[in-house]
Amino acid sequence: MQTHSRPTSDSYQAHFHRRWNFLNDPHVRTLAWLLDAPDLLDAHAPEWQGRIASIETPDEALCAWLRDQDAAPHALHAWLDIQPFTRLGRYAEKLMAWYLQHNGCLFAHGVQVRSDKSETIGEFDFLLKRDDGLVHWEFATKLYLLESSGHGRHADYFVGPNLADTLGAKVRKIMDQQLTLSRHPAAVLQLPMPVIAAQALVKGWLFYHGKTPVSERPQGISTVHCRGFWCTLEESGGIDAESYAVLPRLSWLAPARLQPEEGMDREALREQLARHFEESTAPVLVALLQRDGEVLLESDRGFVVPDDWRSRAEIRIKRTA
């Protein structure tokens, strides 16, 4: 059985806590992650042809703004309007829109393009103001697991936790379909200014089974992407940490910062996982925690998946190929 122990201090989680541990509100912390986390796609990779958007490294002024948001988060909470059915992607989009409004560059968010028959052709995630026109940003926050059959490591072998899609399919959809929306005649007629550039801003985490070298990432993926592990329920007894927490879906982005009473020991985790998989096949994201003063900080993270996930993931990949 493989053991997943706490990583060394150069993990992304360690970087995030050093930089943002003064933030307490979970939604402000997630916004900080969106602004600070490395892009999932390598902006310099030739296959993207310069179509990757990036956010500038947060400066002192932005840190001060985030501190103000953290001290009085009520307006942000109202803007997010979180409901039980809120999707992770929609949640992240609204956080990004909040920042872009503050930044003063947002022209519009969530603009649907319709034909003359009122059929929806597509939607612009973000339109940003530039002096000579608009820039279209297609925005995505995704988490994928590398299927472990050993058949391949390119993007089509990274599968969503619930097997709904693959990293390869998602990137192709963004690049080949969504970023071409501004060239559709209906979009040209609808927008008051021309779209001078279309780019993808993609944040996320990739999860690997066992010890996978960073060099074995898919082509076009950033070398410094956020990463974690995955294991089956049968293998989950090898997860080693001081404390654990099962993260709800809207807490899947930023590294966790929890109160001591929110953590659980190994036996409690085992019992919760057993109960969950008796009723559901949905993978569970577990944060490995360590004590830091009065709080618990995430040191690593991993998906626990059903024992038959590998075989189902392999079938999903064959359907995609």
Which own/partner pairs from 266-270 qualify as long-range (CB within 8 Å, at least 24 positions apart)?
266/239, 268/244, 269/236, 269/239, 269/244, 270/236, 270/237
- Residue 75, pLDDT above cutoff 80: yes
Lowest mean pLDDT among 112-126, 205-219, 272-286, 293-307: 205-219
- Residue 286, pLDDT above cutoff 50: yes
- Residue 216, pLDDT above cutoff 90: no
Average confidence (pLDDT) over 97-101: 97
- How are beta strands 226-232 and 243-246 bridged, if at all? unpaired
Average confidence (pLDDT) over 76-103: 96
Q: What percent of the chain stands above pLDDT 90?
A: 80
CA quadruple 36, 42, 43, 48: dihedral sign: negative
Q: What percent of the chain stands above pLDDT 70?
A: 92
Question: Token pair of 105, please?
Answer: 């560059």
- Residue 56, pLDDT above cutoff 90: no
Reported in sequence order, the residue ranges of the chain that DSSP labels E, i.e. its strands, are 106-114, 120-130, 133-146, 158-159, 195-208, 226-232, 243-246, 257-258, 284-292, 295-305
Give the CA angle between residues 13, 19, 24 to the nearest 5°. Answer: 85
Average confidence (pLDDT) over 132-141: 96
Q: What is the pLDDT of residues 255-265, one digit of tens each?
A: 999 999 999 99
Lowest mean pLDDT among 144-153, 202-211, 286-295: 144-153
Average confidence (pLDDT) over 185-201: 94
Dist CA 172 CA 166 (whole Å): 10
Dist CA 226 CA 278 (whole Å): 30
Task: Note the pLDDT of residue 158.
Answer: 92
Lowest mean pLDDT among 16-25, 158-167, 209-218: 209-218
Task: Note the pLDDT of residue 212.
Answer: 60
Average confidence (pLDDT) over 220-249: 94
Task: Note the pLDDT of residue 219.
Answer: 81
Task: Note the pLDDT of residue 123.
Answer: 95
Lowest mean pLDDT among 45-49, 51-55, 150-154, 166-170: 150-154
To the nearest 10 degrees (0 to 180), the angle between helices 26-36 and 60-71 is 160
Which stretches of 177-265 are DSSP H helices?
A: 185-190
Average confidence (pLDDT) over 98-104: 95
Average confidence (pLDDT) over 96-105: 96
Reduced to 3 states, what is the DSSP secondary structure of residue 214? helix
Q: DSSP for 63-118, please give it.
A: HHHHHHHHHS-HHHHHHH---TT--HHHHHHHHHHHHHHHHT-EEEEEEEEE-TT-
Average confidence (pLDDT) over 80-103: 96
